[in-house]
Amino acid sequence: MFSKACEYGIKAAIFIATKSYEGERVSPKEIAQEIDSPQAFTAKILQALVKNDVVSSVKGAYGGFEIDKSQISSIKLSQIVNAIDGDSIYNGCGLGLHTCDEAHPCPVHDKFKAIRNDLKLMLENTSLEELALNIKSGVSFLKV
Amino acid sequence: MFSKACEYGIKAAIFIATKSYEGERVSPKEIAQEIDSPQAFTAKILQALVKNDVVSSVKGAYGGFEIDKSQISSIKLSQIVNAIDGDSIYNGCGLGLHTCDEAHPCPVHDKFKAIRNDLKLMLENTSLEELALNIKSGVSFLKV
DNA sequence: CTTATTTCGGATAAATTTATCCTATTTATA
DNA sequence: TATAAATAGGATAAATTTATCCGAAATAAG
């Protein structure tokens, strides 16, 4: 469904959010441990999230990654996915046709339309806040 | 969503079905032309479909690939996807956790559950027949 | 039986994704 | 200002997916 990079990116953003609630910045090392991902690769993905204004970074001593507490509720899953995988998951053709629309549909166009729209709505309506709060309360998990 | 191999496999199966209705066998070359795919790679994917009893092949002169006319209606999209990509699309965890279930859910487990189940049902309820008939009638397209 | 045709299957190559390593740059603090 | 700590980013490597090539095996027809 998502690329490995995107999976890591989503989990990293959630973890950073949980720590940001407590006013703490985190390092790629700590993130990688908490989400069970390769550290250097995760650091690369964090750069993409920084460029796309999902997380912010502070260089130098006592630096690290954080998310403005007041923004956690307005960041949507779709922003994270878009920053890493683009919008092909819900905008591209299910069978890879270059043009696939009502006028020139691929064989599964109609069948996929509803599912992909549901996926899109879900990503756009799911906030980083609810995902982070569920981690903090122990309702869901970032690894194993 | 699907791998390239799976996209080619689905389109190939549909094209073979349309030709099988007319009692014609087709070659990898013709298939690749009709679905706009690399020929040798498509041939490899056809082998997987043969092994999984989605299509049957006849070696030697006047051979080619075909699908028993009487079976086209009972072949489901899920069989084709399963033969090539396995069941990870709707059975694996959306964030790549090794174990992800009600007792130990990933952060998006509940959000994904409905969507992935819809996808599963759609694949299991869509027959090769309806896809092939839509191609034959010009309602949908295999390339461009 | 020979030949032409066709799928099968192994070896290999190219492209992309995933992952690692190392240096440069930035910054807080002593 | 010097130092230590941290992200940024380029170069490279490993793994996987995508794609190509070629000979072997099978088969219909002459």
Cβ <8 Å between B98 and A122: no
When pLDDT is averaged across residues A109-118 and rounded to a whole number, the result is 96
The spacing between the Cα labelled CA in B81 and the C1' in C9, in angstroms, equals: 22
Q: In chain B, which residues have their Cβ closer than 8 Å to the Cβ of A99?
A: 144
User: Using the beta-carbon criterion (under 8 Å), do A109 and B11 form an inter-chain contact?
Assistant: no
The answer to whether the CB of A118 falls within 8 A of the CB of B114 is: yes
Residue nearest to nucleotide C19 (CA to C1'): A41
What is the C-alpha to C-alpha distance for residues A129 and A21, in angstroms, rounded to an integer?
Answer: 10
For an interface test with A, the pick among B77, B106, B113 (most A C-beta atoms closer than 10 Å) comes out as B106
Summarize pLDDT for A39-82 with one digit per residue, the tens.
Answer: 999 999 999 999 999 999 999 999 999 999 999 999 999 999 99
Q: Report CA-CA distances (Å) from A123 to A89, A103, A117, B30.
A: 11, 27, 10, 40
* Closest residue on chain B to A120 (Cα): B115
Q: What band does A101 get if pLDDT is binned at 50, 70 and 90?
A: very high
Residue with the two structure tokens 């009487």: B70
pLDDT of residue B50: 98
What's the average pLDDT block by block, 10 residues per block, for chain B (144 residues)?
Answer: 97 98 98 98 98 98 97 98 95 96 98 96 98 98 97
pLDDT on residue A35 = 98
* CATH code, residues A4-136: 1.10.10.10
Q: B17-36: b or e for each residue (b if 16 or more CB lie within 10 Å)?
A: bbbbeeeebbebebbbebbe
Alpha-carbon torsion B48, B54, B59, B63, what sign? negative
Taking the Cβ of residue A14 and every Cβ of chain B, the question of whether any pair is shorter than 8 Å is answered with yes
Other Cβ atoms less than 10 A from the Cβ of A64: the count is: 18
Question: In chain B, which residue's Cα lies nearest the Cα of A109?
Answer: B140
A75 reaches B (C-beta below 8 A): no
Nearest Cβ partner for A140 among B106, B131, B143: B106
Residue B105, C-beta contacts closer than 8 angstroms, at least 6 positions apart:
A139, A140, A141
pLDDT (mean) for A27-45: 98
pLDDT of residue B67: 98
- Average pLDDT over chain A, rounded to whole? 97
Nearest to A142 among B94, B107, B126 (CB): B107
Q: Chain D: nucleotides under 7 Å from a protein CB?
A: 4-10, 17-22, 25-29
Whole-angstrom distance between the N-terminal and C-terminal Cα of chain A?
19
Q: Evaluate if pTM is beyond 0.85.
A: yes
Please list, in sequence order, all residues whose beta carbon lies within 8 angstroms of the beta carbon of residue A20, skipping any fewer than 6 positions away: A66, A67, A68, A69, A72
Tens-place pLDDT, residues B96-127: 999 999 999 999 999 999 999 999 999 999 99
